[in-house]
Amino acid sequence: MRLGIQKEIDWKHVGALLAQEDDAAQSDFLRAFIKECNSWGTHAQVEYQLACVNHKLTDEERETLSMLSYNEEKSND
């Protein structure tokens, strides 16, 4: 890990705290997460890791997260 954190992190607690934050803090977190993932070297490494995470989530959890990749269709008015 690049940041060298020496203490064990309670990820469930971190997730609960993040859920209580506003969308600005949550998007900052996700941007930092994505930036760190993209520093690994290849897009395939990131896709593989995210696929592994996806495999461990329930159908309901994946459905909840589906809005993170939602793209609104742009009208041609």
Question: pLDDT of 21-71, one tens digit each?
Answer: 999 999 999 999 999 999 998 999 999 999 999 999 999 999 999 999 888
Q: What are the backbone dihedrals phi and psi of residue 56, each rounded to the nearest 5 degrees, phi first?
A: -90, -5
pTM for the model stands at: 0.78
Structure tokens at 61: 């959890």
* pLDDT value for 75: 73
Structure tokens at 51: 């696929």
Q: Is 72 among the domain residues? A: no
* CA–CA distance, 41 with 60 (Å, rounded to integer): 31
Q: Is 40 among the domain residues? A: yes
* pLDDT value for 77: 64
Q: Is 1 among the domain residues? A: no
* CA–CA distance, 46 with 12 (Å, rounded to integer): 22
* pLDDT value for 63: 95
Which domain covers residue 52, as residue numbers?
A: 12-66
Q: Is 31 among the domain residues? A: yes
Structure tokens at 63: 């459905």
Decide if pLDDT at 1 tops 60: no
Q: Is 61 among the domain residues? A: yes
Q: How many domains does the chain have?
A: 1
* CA–CA distance, 60 with 3 (Å, rounded to integer): 32
